[in-house]
Structure 1
Amino acid sequence: MMKPTRRARPRLPWAMLAVPAAGGVPVGILWWLLAPGGLNLITREASLGTGTNPLVWLPRDLTLAGLLVFAGCLLAVFLTDKKRRDPQADLLMGLAGALCGAVLAWQAGLLSAQLWGPAVDASANASIAFSLRSLPVLLLWPAATAVSVFVLELMHLLGRKENGGKDDGGLHRSQHVAPGPVK
Structure 2
Amino acid sequence: MTQPSGTGPVPPNPQHPGGAGNPPAYGELYRGDSGSWRLPAAIAAAGIPVGLLWWLLAPGGLNLLSGNPSLASGTNAEGWLPRDLVLAGLFLLAGCVTGFLLNGKRTGAPMPGTVLSAVVGGALGALIAWQSGVLAGQWWGPDEDTAANASIAFSLRAFAVLAIWPAAVAIAVFVANLISLLGKPPEQDS
SS of residue in 1 equivalent to 2:120: helix
Is it true that 1:164 corresponds to 2:170 in the alignment? no
CA distance in 2, matches of 1:85, 1:91: 9
Matches within 5 A, 1:47-58: 47-58=70-81
TM-score where L is the length of structure 2: 0.79
CA distance in 2, matches of 1:105, 1:84: 31
CA distance in 2, matches of 1:48, 1:86: 43
> Residues 119-141 of structure 1, C-alpha deviation per residue, up to 9 Å, x if partnerless?
11101000000000000100000
2:69 to 28, 42, 46: 46
Alignment partner, residue 105 of structure 1: 129
Report how far residue 165 of structure 1 moved.
4.4
Contact 2:109–2:177, Cα closer than 8 Å, also in 1: no
CA RMSD of aligned residues (A): 2.2
Is it true that 1:122 corresponds to 2:146 in the alignment? yes
Contact 1:79–1:87, Cα closer than 8 Å, also in 2: no
Q: Structure 2 vs 1, CA of residues 165 and 79 (structure 1 numbering), >3 Å: closer, same or farther?
A: farther
Alignment partner, residue 18 of structure 1: 41
Q: Structure 2 vs 1, CA of residues 39 and 126 (structure 1 numbering), >3 Å: closer, same or farther?
A: same
> Residues 3-35 of structure 1, C-alpha deviation per residue, up to 9 Å, x if partnerless?
8x9644313522211111000000000000000
Structure 2: gaps spanning 5 or more residues: 7-24
Is it true that 1:30 corresponds to 2:58 in the alignment? no
2:54 is matched by which residue type in structure 1?
W
2:79 is matched by which residue type in structure 1?
V
SS of residue in 1 equivalent to 2:54: helix
CA distance in 1, matches of 2:40, 2:122: 8
Aligned-pair identity in percent equals 48
1:33 is matched by which residue type in structure 2?
L
Contact 1:99–1:142, Cα closer than 8 Å, also in 2: yes
1:10 is matched by which residue type in structure 2?
G
Q: Structure 2 vs 1, CA of residues 86 and 145 (structure 1 numbering), >3 Å: closer, same or farther?
A: closer
How many residue pairs get matched? 163
> Residues 101-153 of structure 1, C-alpha deviation per residue, up to 9 Å, x if partnerless?
00000000000001111111101000000000000100000011111111110
